[in-house]
Structure formats: structure tokens, C-alpha cells
């Protein structure tokens, strides 16, 4: 397969305050979902979509992410001498066939500012941005990023976003697109708004944590003024692309490649249970245990 896009930037600098106390001394991206930390699924998805190099935009307290993708010779020796070959294979898989880079966002100045930290890494080529707290598809089995990259090239777009339909009461939590026209699962974007006030969203299509950008985005980010909370919003930079008449497209995620948002407890709990139920070894036992539990204690609302 032709390599359409080689580089991805994965912002993981957020403080994870919505997941306290679980995230007091560990990054939210390292919380496990069934067998693996969230960031492992994100990296696996990117590599399965042809990405060869990944830059993590980290911050203070995020060094365990770097350790996770590093080789651990002591652990390897220990497993080798204990003949734990299956576990060794699993660990080798963690290291993945990609190059990993790390840089820190020194101040918490928002997602746009975090992406700007990757400007030298991206160079003159188009690149992917994948949010480190979102998994796409059950066990990250999504090819959406490849389809977005194909669309980006075929339509000579400046930006392609993944979007998902959300209930009207949830639009306030996301970047929302205003469609100019819709052709199947491809939306031409007229405008975007970050976290619109209740009742004012231009649609129910929410930005779903995956983007393909031309390097032009960096100039747009530099033009964005900080919002009321001092954050440089990536959505505002994409809006500048729309205003300049650049082609901004969105690809709707199909139901079998839905986004699992790990940024709050409600969706984190649900994601953990869904992934654990799909585990070939432990899923059936968990299902039986849950059924027993639910039969005993009727759910109260
Ligand atoms: C960010 C983006 C938003 C997007 C969301 C997806 O918001 O700013 O446009 O819809 O991720 O998770 P955050 O969740 O960082 O507040």
C-alpha cells in the first residue's frame, strides 16, 4: 500500500482533572482499558494506518508514557529465563514498528498550542493529529485515518476531520461543524465552533479526535487568540482555514468504528467493560459474572 501520510502528532499533555483521583499521579492516557493502557491502542491504530513516526506532546508527570514504549531489558531477561514466551511476544508488540519522539508543552495553553509544538517534526508534509484520550473502534481496529488520508489527497483538502453524531445535549462538550453540504459520509465544512452554548450548535456532528492537516495549520494556529480560559483552540485555527476558502472536509465515523472517549468516568467505565467483554480469554467469564451481579442487584437510577 502506498504510504500516504507518515507522521502523527499525539497530544497527551492534558491534566486529566475530570478523572481525579485516578489521574493524580499518573497520566489519563496510561489508564488501562482491559489489558492495555489507552495510549497503546492509539499508537497501534496509527501504525495499522501506515504511520511510521509518532511525536507525543507531553507535559509534567507524563514520563510513564515514554517508559511504556521503551524497551525494558531487565523485564525481557526475567521473562526469558522464566520461559514466558507468550508474555514476551506481547511485550514486543508494545514496542511497535514505529519511531517515537517526545517533546513537552511547557505551559497548559490548549490543544492548538500543543499541536504547534510539533511544527518542526511535521516539516513540509501533511500529518495526522490523534488525541491521546480517544480510541477509535473496538480494540482500536479502525481504518478511518487511512480513509481520511486518501480523502485529503484525492480532494486536495487542507484539513480532514473525523466526526461523529452526538445527542444535542452533548454538543456543548465538543468542537461542532456546520456542514456546507453532505455527500454520503463526507461533509464539506463551512464553519466550526468549539463547545457551542446549549441550543446554539450548528449541527450534531462533533469533532472526534482524529485530524489530517496540511502544514498550513501552523500559520493558522499562530493567528488564534487565547479564549477566556487562556487556551489556543485548534478548532479556531481550522475555522481560519474555512474563512480563507481552504477545503476543510469531515468524514463521519461509521457505527462499527465509533469513538471511545476516555476523558470522563462515565465513558471510561463503559469503554473498559465493552473492551473487557470482547476479550477472547476473559470476556465470556466477565459476561457471566456481570449477568449474575445484575440479576442480584436491580439497577437503580
Ligand atoms: C478537544 C477538541 C474538541 C473535540 C474534542 C474531542 O476538546 O477541542 O474540538 O471535539 O477534543 O474529544 P477537549 O476534549 O480537549 O476539551
What one-character-per-residue DSSP string does 94-129 give? HHTTSEEEEEE--S---HHHHHHTTHHHHTTS-EEE
Element (H, E) at 237: helix 234-243
Mutate to test the pocket of ligand 1, among 110, 112, 173 (most ligand atoms within 8 A of CB): 173
Tell me the helix, strand and coil percentages in the chain, rounded to 5.
40, 25, 35
Residue 60 inside a domain? The answer is yes
Model pLDDT for residues 24-46, shown as the tens digit of each residue: 999 999 999 999 999 999 999 99
Contact 165, 252 (CB under 8 A): yes
Residue 169's CB: how many other CB atoms inside 10 A?
9
Atom of ligand 1 nearest to the CA of 111: 8
CA 16–ligand 1 middle distance (angstroms): 13
Q: State percent of the chain over pLDDT 70.
A: 96
Whether pLDDT at 94 is above 80: no
Q: Are 24 and 125 in contact (CB under 8 A)?
A: no
Q: Is residue 190 part of a domain?
A: yes
User: 2 in a domain, yes or no?
Assistant: no
* Distance from the alpha carbon of residue 261 to the mean position of ligand 1, in angstroms: 10
Mean pLDDT for all residues in the chain:
92
Mean pLDDT value across residues 126-132: 97
Cα distance from N-terminal residue to C-terminal residue, the chain: 50
Query: Is residue 301 domain-resident?
Result: no
- List the single range of 15-29, 90-104, 158-172 with lowest mean pLDDT: 90-104
The count of domains in the chain is 1
In a domain, 233, yes or no: yes
State the pLDDT at residue 279.
Answer: 96
| For ligand 1, atom 7: residue with the closest CA | 174
pLDDT at 300: 65
pLDDT band at 93 (very low <50, low <70, confident <90, very high): low
Whether residue 129 is contained in a domain is answered as: yes
Residue 243 sits at φ, ψ, to 5 deg, of -65, -30
pLDDT for 1: 43
Residue 78 lies in a domain: yes
pLDDT of residue 216 exceeding 70: yes
Neighbours of 49 (CB within 10 A): 23
* Residue 286 contacts residue 279 (beta carbons within 8 Å): yes
- Share of residues in the chain with pLDDT > 90 (%): 80
Pocket lining: 130 vs ligand 1, CB cutoff 6 Å: no
- CATH assignment at residue 55: 3.90.550.10
Three-class HEC string of the chain: CCCCCCEEEEECCCCCHHHCCCCCCCCHHHCEECCEEHHHHHHHHHHHCCCCEEEEEECCCCHHHHHHHCCCHHHHHHHHHCCCHHHHHHHHHHHCCCEEEEEECCCCCCHHHHHHCCHHHHCCCCEEEECCCEEECHHHCCCHHHHHHHHHHHCCCCEEEEEEECCHHHHHHCEEEEEEEEECCEEEEEEEEECCCCCCCCCCEEEEEEEEECCCHHHHHHHCCCCCCCCCCHHHHHHHHHHCCCCEEEEECCHHHCEEECCCHHHHHHHHHHHHHCCCCCHHHHHHHHHHHHHHCCCCC
What range does the domain containing 29 cover? 7-296
Residue 162 inside a domain? The answer is yes
Instruction: Check pocket membership of 132 for ligand 1, CB cut-off 6 A.
Output: no
What are the pLDDT digits (tens) for 135-164? 999 988 899 999 999 999 999 999 999 999
* pLDDT at residue 97 is higher than 60: yes
The answer, yes or no, to whether residue 62 has pLDDT greater than 60, is yes
Q: Is the CB of 131 under 6 A from ligand 1?
A: yes
pLDDT surpassing 80 at residue 95:
no
- What is the pLDDT at residue 166? 94
Question: Does 171 contact ligand 1 (Cβ within 6 A)?
Answer: no
Per-residue pLDDT tens for 229-285?
A: 999 999 999 999 999 999 999 999 999 999 999 989 999 999 999 999 999 999 999
Mean pLDDT throughout 74-95? 79
Q: What is the pLDDT of residue 129?
A: 98
Amino acid at each position: 500500500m502506498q504510504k500516504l501520510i507518515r507522521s502523527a502528532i499525539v497530544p497527551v499533555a492534558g491534566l486529566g482533572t475530570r478523572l481525579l483521583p485516578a489521574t493524580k499521579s499518573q497520566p489519563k492516557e496510561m489508564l488501562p482499558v482491559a489489558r492495555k493502557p489507552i495510549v497503546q491502542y492509539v499508537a497501534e491504530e496509527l501504525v495499522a494506518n501506515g504511520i511510521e513516526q509518532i511525536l507525543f506532546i507531553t507535559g509534567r508527570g507524563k514520563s510513564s508514557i515514554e517508559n511504556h514504549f521503551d524497551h525494558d531489558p531487565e523485564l525481557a531477561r526475567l521473562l526469558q529465563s522464566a520461559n514466558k514466551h507468550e508474555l514476551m511476544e506481547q511485550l514486543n508488540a508494545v514496542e511497535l514498528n514505529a519511531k517515537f519522539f517526545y517533546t513537552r508543552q511547557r505551559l497548559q495553553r490548549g490543544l492548538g498550542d500543543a499541536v504547534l509544538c510539533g511544527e518542526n517534526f511535521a516539516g513540509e508534509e501533511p500529518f495526522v493529529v490523534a488525541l491521546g484520550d480517544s480510541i477509535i473502534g473496538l480494540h482500536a481496529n479502525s481504518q478511518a485515518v487511512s480513509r481520511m488520508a486518501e480523502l485529503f489527497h484525492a480532494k486536495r483538502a487542507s484539513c480532514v476531520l473525523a466526526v461523529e453524531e452526538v445527542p444535542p445535549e452533548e454538543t456543548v462538550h465538543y468542537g461542532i461543524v456546520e456542514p456546507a453540504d453532505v455527500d454520503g459520509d463526507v461533509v464539506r465544512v463551512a464553519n466550526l465552533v468549539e463547545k457551542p452554548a446549549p441550543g446554539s450548535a450548528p449541527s450534531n456532528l462533533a469533532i472526534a479526535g482524529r485530524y489530517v492537516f496540511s502544514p498550513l495549520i501552523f500559520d493558522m494556529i499562530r493567528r488564534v487568540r487565547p479564549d477566556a480560559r487562556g487556551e489556543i483552540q485548534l478548532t479556531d485555527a481550522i475555522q481560519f482555514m474555512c474563512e480563507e476558502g481552504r477545503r476543510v472536509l469531515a468524514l463521519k465515523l461509521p457505527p462499527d468504528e465509533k469513538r471511545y472517549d476516555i476523558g470522563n468516568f462515565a465513558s471510561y467505565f463503559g469503554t473498559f467493560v465493552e473492551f473487557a467483554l470482547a476479550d477472547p480469554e476473559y470476556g465470556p467469564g466477565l459476561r457471566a459474572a456481570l449477568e449474575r451481579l445484575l440479576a442480584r442487584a436491580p439497577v437503580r437510577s
